[in-house]
């Protein structure tokens, strides 16, 4: 990922409001459990390989693992949302692993889990 993305604690309320609005607008007809889980997360955009990808920060591993099993609506949302500029349907579903001080992300492009430091620099490959 590019080093342009570092979570800013002062912008969290705006990011959370944007996330809730997107969930209300685009996931209205989704299953209620999916909407509830998405409301626990924060959506943002990042650049990967010159294309925009959706980054979903989850509060913990359990939420991230559950979302990683239901990626189709998220990929569809990203394709719809980004139809007017260079992007992909790529989604990263991440949680912070505080014991290792890293981020674990499910990458829909490779359908695998990866580890990143500060959501910026790839540090390890997927482990399945």
In tens, the pLDDT along 8-51 reads 556 678 888 888 888 888 888 888 888 999 999 998 888 777 77
Question: Within a domain: residue 91?
Answer: yes
Q: Classify residue 100: in a domain, yes or no.
A: yes
Q: Would you say residue 48 lies in a domain? A: yes
Question: Domain range for residue 83?
Answer: 42-116
Q: Which residue has the tokens 């490959």?
A: 125
pLDDT of 66 strictly over 80: yes
pLDDT of residue 62: 95
pTM, 2 dp? 0.78
- Order of strands, sheet of 102-107, starting from the edge strand that comes earlier in the sequence: 42-48, 51-57, 87-97, 102-107, 112-117, 121-124
Residue 37 lies in a domain: no
Residue 72 lies in a domain: yes
Inside any domain, residue 13: no
Say how many domains are in the chain: 1
Alpha carbons 95 and 42: distance in angstroms, whole number: 11
What are the structure tokens assigned to 34, written together? Answer: 């999916």
Could you tell me if residue 8 is inside a domain?
no
């Amino acid at each position: 990922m590019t080093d342009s993305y570092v979570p800013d604690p002062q912008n969290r309320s705006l990011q959370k409001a944007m996330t809730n609005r997107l969930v209300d607008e685009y996931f209205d007809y989704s299953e209620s459990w999916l909407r509830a889980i998405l409301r626990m997360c924060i959506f943002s955009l990042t650049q990967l390989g010159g294309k925009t990808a959706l980054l979903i920060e989850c509060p913990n591993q359990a939420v991230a693992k559950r979302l990683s099993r239901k990626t189709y609506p998220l990929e569809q949302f990203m394709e719809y949302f980004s139809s007017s500029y260079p992007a992909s349907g790529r989604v990263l579903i991440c949680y912070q692993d505080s014991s290792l001080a890293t981020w674990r992300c499910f990458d829909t492009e490779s359908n695998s889990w990866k580890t990143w430091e500060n959501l910026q620099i790839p540090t390890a490959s997927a482990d399945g």
